[in-house]
Structures are given as structure tokens and as C-alpha cells.
Amino acid sequence: MSSPSLSSAPPAPSNPGADRHLFQLAVAIFVTFLAMGLAMPTLPLHLYHTLGASPLVIGIVVGCQFLAALVSRAWCGNMADTRGAQRALRVGLGFGVASGALYLLSLAVVGMPWLSIGLLIAARAALGCTESFSAVCSLSWGTGLIGPARAGKVMSWVGMAMFGAYSVGAPLGALLYERFGFLAIGVAALLLPVISLALVGRVPAVPVIAAAKRLPFRSVVGLVTLPGLGLAFAAAGFGSMTAFIALLFAENRWGDASLAFTAFGAAYILARLLFGHLPDKIGGARVALAAAAVETLGMALIWALGGHSPWGVYLGAAFTGFGFSLAFPGFGVEAVRRVPPANRGSAMGAYVAFLDVALAITGPLAGLAATAFGVRSVYGFGALVVAGGVAVGWLLVRQQTASTEALK
């Protein structure tokens, strides 16, 4: 028997106290992800200039975080379900503290580059676990605080915290690195998770949902596969933006691509602020369908205008950010409603894992397209991939409509 749709359930009443605690949780996630944002522009520079690492080695060190995040999704989801999201999140923040300590330890052995690089690999792996635990446990904890009928709001707030931290962290990290070197990044990476631990200590715990038998993780993956595929298709737009927009500007001799990132980020946050409540109000499927269509339009605009005007690219980037922003909670609400409450943490872990896999393969595949057909082609092919999210959204709407009619 399928779980009832959230959109067909009456919305949970607003609880100011619970909303305040959700805000505190989102602030903690912002602080946690700020440590990751600081290292985005600085770690490659430190590896290249200080340790003499090759581009291949830099890619391996940086990529360890994403591999560790993917591998740990099932672990952290199961821990959130069985031991409580709050306890699991503290474990994840402990990995963050360890990551900062390893950053600093690596600086003590820069005279032995391979040992220093090995410690940085360990630091990135620990940071990947922090990313995984923070994302999954905050979503599970937040949903427990304000109720599954408002899961879309949780995803909107947590998502804004994560991407807002990346947006602030990258330029701040570049500034710190320029003035104080990688030591400042290591100190910040050590201290910021400690601050997050203090912040989450003020958020009340939610009880672990008792269950005679929890679904195994592979069964949870099967239940969330369709909305997870929708998220994976949507992630192609985000991955293409972050990986190749700078090359597109360089190819056209348009100078700095920072305004494209600004347009993407501003539209992302604006969409969450204006429409982040819609998945809870009208259903995730309809929001996901519309969001994927907007993102497809954005990618198509970049492809069509990418050889003519940077302003066309800015517009396309804004549409892409706007659509991707709402695709995550739209498909996510559909993922949550498909699993029993006792498996909510595992559902979040499985759902976000589709994002990990999509981002991991988007770069290499887009690189092949750019090599064969030029950088602008990345956005043409990307539009076709993101359109797959439109198809998934349409299927989810049809399923929802059929389920509603069957209940009449």
C-alpha cells in the first residue's frame, strides 16, 4: 500500500517555537558548510603552489570529500533513524573538527609533500562525512521538529543555509588565504564545527520512532528512486554551471564569470524565499515539474546565447538557479512521503545520494562534450538532461492524480 501524499494531507499548523528551533538548526548548518566553502577556492591553490601537486592529484584530493559523502549516506541515515538525528549530527560535526585538525597537521609536514597530501586526503574524507551527516541529519531532525507535512520548508531552509554558506565561504576563503595563507583555513575548519556543536545543543531532540522492523537501505533506495532520478537530472544544470561557466566566459573573452555565479545564487535564494512553501502547499510533484521546466529553459538560454552575449548567460544562469532551487524540495517531498516515518533518515540519505552521483558524473561527461563539440555544447546537452527531470515530474504528477482519484 502506498503512503498517502503529503499534498493531500492538511498542512501542519505553524508552531513558532518549532520554527525558531528549525532556524537555529539552519544557522548551525550554515556555519558547518561555511568551513567547506572556505576551502573551495583555496585548497587547490595550496596544493599547487605550496605542495607542487599536479592537476590529477589536486582532483583526487578534492574529490575525496564527495566520495566519502556518497559512501557514508547509508551509514548516517541509519544512525539518524536508530539513534536519533541529533546524536548522529554531533558525530558528523566531530568529523568536521577532525578535518580541521588534519588540515593543521598537514601544514606541519609541508617539507614532506606526499605525507602532507596524505593528511589532506584524510581531512577531505572526514569533511565528506561531515557533509553527509550534516545534510541528512538536519533534514531528518528538522522534519521531526515541525512535522513531515512541512518537509518542504525544512528542505528550503536547510538548502538555503548550505548554498548560502558556499556563496559566502568561497570569497571569504580567498580573502583569508591571500592575507594569512592556508593556516587561516585550517583554523577556521577546526573552530566552525565547534560553534555548530554549541548551536545544535540548543535545539531540542526529537524522539526516535519505534519500529518493529525497519526497511533495509536497499529497499529505501528503491522507494525513492523516481524522485531521486528527478533530482539527479536537475543536478546536471548545477554541475554544468559550477564546472564550465568560467571556461565559457574565457572562450568568449568576456572576462570574469563571477556575475553568472551571482545571478545563479541570487535566483536560488530568491526562489526559496518566495516559493519555498509551495511543495508543502500544493505538493512536491507539481513544484518539481515546474522547477525542472524553468531550469531547462535556463540551460537552453545559456546554450543559445552563450556565443553572443554575457547578459544572455546571466539570464540563463538566473533561470537555472531558480529552477534548481525548487527542484530539490519538490522532488524531496515526494521522496519523504514514500517511506515510513521510521526510515526518514535513510530516505534523506538515499535521496541526497542521487545528487552525489549526478555531480560526480556530470563533470567528466560534460568535459567529453566540451572537448568534442565546444564548451557551449555542454549547456545544450545539459538542457536535454535536465528535461529528464521534467519527465520525472510529469510521472509523479500522474501518479499523484491517479492515487487521488482512486481514493474517491
Distance CA 191, CA 145 (A): 27
Q: Which of 4, 1, 2, 6 is nearest to 287 (CA)?
A: 6
Residue 1 has pLDDT above 70, yes or no: no
pLDDT grade for 292, boundaries at 50, 70 and 90: very high
Residue 275 has pLDDT above 80, yes or no: yes
Compute the Cα dihedral for 175, 180, 182, 187 and give only its sign: negative
pTM for the predicted model, two decimal places: 0.75
> What domains does the chain contain, in order, with CATH numbers?
15-205 (1.20.1250.20), 216-408 (1.20.1250.20)
- For residues 278-291, give the mean pLDDT: 91
Q: Which of 28, 31, 275, 25 is nearest to 154 (CA)?
A: 25
The Cβ of residue 363 has, within 10 Å, a number of other Cβ atoms equal to 16
For residue 12, the model assigns a pLDDT of 44
- 29-60 pLDDT tens trace: 999 999 988 888 788 888 888 999 887 788 78
For residue 388, the model assigns a pLDDT of 96
- Nine cell digits for residue 407: 481514493
- For residues 53-72, give the mean pLDDT: 82
Q: Please, where are the H alpha helices in 72-150? A: 73-83, 85-107, 113-146
Residue 14 has pLDDT above 70, yes or no: no
Distances (CA, A) of 390 to 5, 94, 234, 292, 383: 20, 39, 9, 5, 11
Question: 215-229, 342-356, 380-394: lowest mean pLDDT where?
Answer: 342-356
- 160-192 pLDDT tens trace: 888 788 878 878 888 898 899 999 999 999 999
